Structure 1
Amino acid sequence: MTSAAPRLTDRPADLVIECRVEQERALLVPRGELVQGCTELLAEALAGLPPGTGRVDVDMRHVVFMDTAGLQFLDLLNGHGHRGALTVTTGHWRGQPRRTLELAGLDTDDPLRTSEPRPAPSSSSSPVALERSERLHDLQEEVEQLRQAIVSRPVIDQARGVLMAVHSCTSEAAWDILREASQLSNTKLRTVAEAVTASAGNDGPPPPPEIRAALRTAVARHGR
């Protein structure tokens, strides 16, 4: 049997969970991103499993992005296993989702292997709860940085190409120029890259003065 969780308007449009059941084993295959709303899709998939299912394996190889909602996804899986006395596993973690598991201090082969259901936060902030909160905050920040890096990658690559052509420098040197210009001008790297790319076009505007000055300094240090 193969099925997919229905897509509703309040669910992530780029996630679908395929379900295959053979005898007493269910294989779930999420495809897309584990973001807000992913737990609702998972709950529907789990609720649709036939009675007598004794094992649930989740193949994560097609999950391309995961933020902190992915940790809730794992909590739901873990709780389902404990409540039903089922064996529940996840595997084939790759790329950014695997990195997120590392940041969260979880097993990157199967985070459910040694995990226990996480207690709900209490009103009294124990040292353990504070440490967990700080770690979650750090994880959220890095995930957001990764998301921004993915979005910004094309324009940054274009800017590197412009610098390589204009200054006859290597790709690594072009990256160093962009990064240092961003730091010197106190400007986001994407903004610096956009200014460099725009200035290369026909009748393109020159970069703002502070970025132009920072680029000159960075080119003098890293260019040929």
Structure 2
Amino acid sequence: MSEDKKLIEFQKVNKTYFLGTQKIEALKDIDLTINNQDFIAIIGPSGSGKSSMLNLVSFIDEPSEGKILYGDINVENLKDKDIAQFRSNKIGIIFQNFNLIPVFSATENVALALQIQNGNNKENIEKSKELLNELGLGNHLNHRPNYLSGGQKQRVAIARALITNPEIIIADEPTSALDSKTGIEIIDLMKKINETKKTTFIFSTHDPRIINQVEKTIELIDGQIKK
């Protein structure tokens, strides 16, 4: 349930790419508000603009036209180094194919996000172990990714995104590499985190079984929000 505190606002946002001389309008005239504790699924066919929207929400990319606000901050006024720091402090990202470091244990993969923020110390490891225990991976703390199932890898990826206490977590097709049962378990876990930690989630999906678990959807068709 959203608490109606505005986190991110798109104002007449367009995103255009060029492939050689070909102009691709990935997003067109997007107006969108994301509030605190929203749990949002972006849906739509391939090529509808889902990934482009998530890249803008996470400030990995910037709009071609229009304005994106984070609270009262106009993101286009931030310098590159400030955006990187801002993203590190405010936003967690869950990648489609986990993106875990294969030579690191589950604990070390999660602790890495903290080390980027505050350097290497024992407290990072302890915090990571606590969170992995909370997410049901207490028996796999020292396991490397190759020894984890797909669902376990995604739980590690969720822990890594969550460990820095971000206000919002963004995920591009977080269940696409999982079977349907495990995918629903992961969505249920994300929903539990949304409710208990008040973390905002916005993710893309094309799986109707996942869409049925979500209270709020944004449907994109040809780069526009379907009214």
TM-score (norm 2): 0.30
Q: Which has the higher strand share?
A: 2
Higher RCO (CA-CA < 8 Å; seq separation 6+): 2
